Structure 1
Amino acid sequence: MARDGGLLGTFAMYHRTPRVPQETDLALARVFAGTAALAIERHHIEQEKAAAEARAESARAALAEAVQVERELRAQAEQRAAAAAELAAQMRTAAAAQAASPHPERCQLGGAAGCTEAAEIKIADSWGDAAWGCPAHVEEAIISVRSVFIASEELGGLAAYVSR
């Protein structure tokens, strides 16, 4: 029996000839059963400890992975914020340049290197800064800035920005 009263197993003694157990047989059975109970309980405790340590290690590994993913996501967010800030600066520069030339021939969103593609689409941000760009750079601005809208002549939305 376990210390908590639970059954751990049974203990039996065998003899070469059938007979009734003697007091010495019962005393030996109690000693051996008690020793076996201690060994079995200790084995169960060690198994439970090993399982708990494995769960703790798994939790530590999951936490480390979550921290790493969080760092990667934070770095990506910082990169997106930097790209959005750069695009916003390009929008402001383009808006200032449009005072002299309302519809430039070349894309204004191509970055420091510039873009030689035709300016086909006009976009504006929530502050009213507008720029003309090629489809590739306009798509990049929409994805990065997320506050840009497209004004098209076909839909009548460009009229407010043509003379800007």
Structure 2
Amino acid sequence: MTGIRVIGIETTRDGGLLGTFAMYHRTPRVPQDTDLALAAVFAGTAALAIERHHSEQARQAAEARAKAAHDELAKVVSAERHLRAEAERRAAAAAELTARMRTAAAAQAAMPHPEHCQLGGRPGCTAPAEIKIADSWGDAAWGCPDHVEEAIINVRSVFIASEELGGLAAYVNR
């Protein structure tokens, strides 16, 4: 193979270079019209195959990105649903604690400092009533440390009412 002639250069539709096409002969010679025609056919066919391959790779990459975006969106939607459910649960817990505080405030007229926690819910809490909490509406209740913490976390405007904190002494004997 002594004669090497580059007789075709193939480009993409947008002008980018895909490759070159050459024909080899046993003896050096000038390309014939048939050589040029064959080179044009082969180079064109190769260009189509290469462009199709590039298009397929681009399509697969786009599908992978779309799937990843879809999966991420599904995670976000799931997290949003979970957070919404948690917020609704906390709102319900806060409403229940607020109702317990109002009930406890009404009961304190008869017994200013109850023996057991007033914030324990329906089954009741048998823990000693150690801490008094109040809200900005003037409702107060006595509770155990666990239920007081729950009320402070879940009910707006609740604070510990004690003489030690100063300024809240009126609530202690309410």
Relative to total residues, which structure has the larger strand share, 1 or 2?
2
| CA deviation string 1:83-106 (max 9, x = no partner) | 111100100000001111111121
Q: How far has the Cα of 1:60 moved from its partner?
A: 1.3
Structure 1, residues 22-80: CA drift from partner, whole Å, max 9, x if none? 33222211111111111111111111111111111111111111111111111111111
1:112 CA displacement: 1.1
**Equivalent residue for 1:103, pick from 100, 113, 118:** 113
Cα distance in 2 between the residues matched to 1:107 and 1:120: 8
Query: In the alignment, which residue of structure 2 is the partner of 1:85?
Result: 95
Which of 31, 42, 46 aligns to 1:32? It is 42
Name the structure 2 match of 1:76. 86
SS of match in other structure, 2:21: coil
Q: Which runs of 5+ in 2 are unaligned?
A: 1-10
Could you tell me how far apart the structure 2 residues matched to 1:102 and 1:158 are?
A: 15
Letter matched to residue 61 of structure 2: A
Cα contact 2:151–2:158 (8 A) shared by 1: yes
Corresponding residue for 1:16? 26
Displacement after TM superposition at 1:121 (Å): 0.8
1:12-161 to structure 2, matched below 5 A, reads 12-161=22-171
In the alignment, is the contact (CA less than 8 A) between 2:162 and 2:172 conserved in 1?
Answer: no
Deviation at 1:141, TM superposition (A): 0.8
Q: What's the % identity of the aligned pairs?
A: 81
Task: Provide the C-alpha distance between the structure 2 equivalents of 1:153 and 1:36, rounded to a whole number of angstroms.
Answer: 90
What code does the residue aligned with 2:139 have? Answer: D
Secondary structure at the residue paired with 1:154?
coil
TM-score, scaled to structure 2: 0.88
Counterpart of 2:19 in 1: which secondary structure?
Answer: coil
Paired amino acid for 2:18: L
Identify the structure with bigger relative contact order (alpha carbons < 8 Å, sequence gap 6+): 1
Cα deviation for residue 19 of structure 1 reads 3.2
TM-score (norm 1): 0.92
Q: Give the counterpart letter for 1:130 in structure 2.
A: A
